Amino acid sequence: MYHQSTKTLSTQTSSPLLTVSVAPAKVVRGSDILTQASDAISQLGNRPLIIGGERTLAVTQESVQEFLKQQRLHVAQACYTPDCSEASLKALHKAAKEHKADVIIGVGGGKALDTAKLVGYKLQLPVVTIPTSASTCAAWTALSNVYSDEGAFLYDVGLAKCPDLLILDYELVKTAPQRTLIAGIGDAIAKWYEASVSSGHSEQTLIIAAVQQARVLRDILFQKSAAALKEPGSEAWQQVVDATVLLAGVIGGLGGAQCRTVAAHAVHNGLTHICESGSIHGEKVAYGILVQLRLEEIIQGNQLAAAARQQLLKFYAEIGLPQKLSDLGLGNITLNELQKAAEVALHPNSDIHRLPFKVALEQLMAAMVSTTAPVEGRSHTGLTSTVNQDG
């Protein structure tokens, strides 16, 4: 007996070490809570470097920074412009060293938070995220996207852990343009359409849980988004903000590297290489979901995907998410540009290859220009709100 269990133990220790970073160590949320949150910040350090965009830093000058200074914290700030790129990261690394920063605070949207998380990770400093919009779940996750200075997606970096502190102040988020929340809804519903394809058949407990949470997240957003957008600050609005910033993060945390993105984000990544349209992450991802469903229709003849696409088109029309390239400001792109975006999306390392079938360049280009095509053939009565990828 003893001998056998020792053997089991030694087999276990030789298997790869799987780390899960489910959540930030601490999440504080409420309205006008920045003032109360300074205690939690000062427990992490007293020389914070605040990283944000130029506009955000100007807007939060009084609310965030003045307050931190009153708390006898030695604050410095730095911009992540032009993007969460290698050049910015290098400059911020230097700024953090010069300030002798002992905690990094990211303030802003996804890119500002991704930059702050990455600077903190590289310098092994604690990280605080303060989202100023509900446009992504970047405030929560242990992942950063790196872009070129021009904003083209290059690669993502898995971080050792989720942020040490997430401060979700609804008053602050309420000041963001409505469009950012709409984009956040698009990015969050993608979790279901992508996770159910990449991990829907997993036997692993935590992955099953992540995929199911993605379905719950989608349903909450289907039910509450329209009401939320009609009345910012309302109960429904707050629940939708929690869904896009927090629950979307839980799914990434539980599912980890195995519960990854599929075609929707791959299409987003492709579009960043041609996009000067000014559309934001979640808008491109939302369009990418339609492309993914269209691929399942075209290549697999999947009628559930066709019905799901029709359901999404209705939902997008209701809340203002883009349905086609022209809605992203790309109505005039050339065939060459379309091909370039599709080629990037089909790069050998792309998550698009998690689809259970091969995608040819021509098929992807066809899907990209036909996201609003009517469903061919019979009507699909009976396939209503619970459709998913493969039943």
Report the C-alpha gap between 239 and 314 in whole angstroms: 22
Give min distance, CB of 153 to Zn ion, in A.
Answer: 10
Judged by phi (left if over 0) then psi (alpha if -120 to 50, else beta), residue 256 lies in: left
Whose Cβ is closer to Zn ion: residue 99's or residue 260's? Answer: 260
Site residues, Zn ion (CB under 5 A): 187
Whose Cβ is closer to Zn ion: residue 164's or residue 187's? Answer: 187
Nearest residue to Zn ion on Cβ basis = 187
Give min distance, CB of 155 to Zn ion, in A.
Answer: 14
CA-nearest of 108, 135, 119, 147 to 249 is 135
Give min distance, CB of 35 to Zn ion, in A.
Answer: 31
Start-end of H helices in the chain: 2-14, 34-42, 54-59, 67-70, 86-99, 110-123, 170-174, 178-199, 205-230, 235-242, 248-255, 263-271, 281-300, 303-319, 335-345, 361-368
Taking each helix axis as running N to C, give the angle between helix 178-199 and helix 248-255, from 0 to 180 degrees, rounded to the nearest 10.
30
Report the C-alpha gap between 307 and 322 in whole angstroms: 18
Whose Cβ is closer to Zn ion: residue 73's or residue 267's? Answer: 267
Report the C-alpha gap between 326 and 2 in whole angstroms: 68
Give min distance, CB of 115 to Zn ion, in A.
Answer: 16
Whose Cβ is closer to Zn ion: residue 101's or residue 254's? Answer: 254
Give min distance, CB of 89 to Zn ion, in A.
Answer: 20
Whose Cβ is closer to Zn ion: residue 50's or residue 266's? Answer: 266
Give min distance, CB of 187 to Zn ion, in A.
Answer: 4
Report the C-alpha gap between 25 and 135 in whole angstroms: 22
Whose Cβ is closer to Zn ion: residue 140's or residue 304's? Answer: 140
Phi, psi of 301 (to 5 degrees): 65, 30
- Residue 206, CB-side half-sphere exposure with 13 Å CA sphere: 15
CA-nearest of 258, 232, 261 to 350 is 261
Give min distance, CB of 255 to Zn ion, in A.
Answer: 13
Report the C-alpha gap between 313 and 287 in whole angstroms: 10
Give min distance, CB of 2 to Zn ion, in A.
Answer: 50
Q: Is the dihedral of CA 113, 94, 155, 59 positive or negative?
A: positive
Whose Cβ is closer to Zn ion: residue 111's or residue 324's? Answer: 111
Whose Cβ is closer to Zn ion: residue 125's or residue 345's? Answer: 345
Measure Cα distances from 118 to 66, 115, 146, 228 in Å: 25, 5, 9, 32
Contacts of residue 197, Cβ cutoff 8 Å, sequence gap at least 6? 262, 263, 292, 354, 355, 356, 389
CA-nearest of 315, 296, 300, 342 to 193 is 296
Give min distance, CB of 31 to Zn ion, in A.
Answer: 26
Whose Cβ is closer to Zn ion: residue 258's or residue 363's? Answer: 258
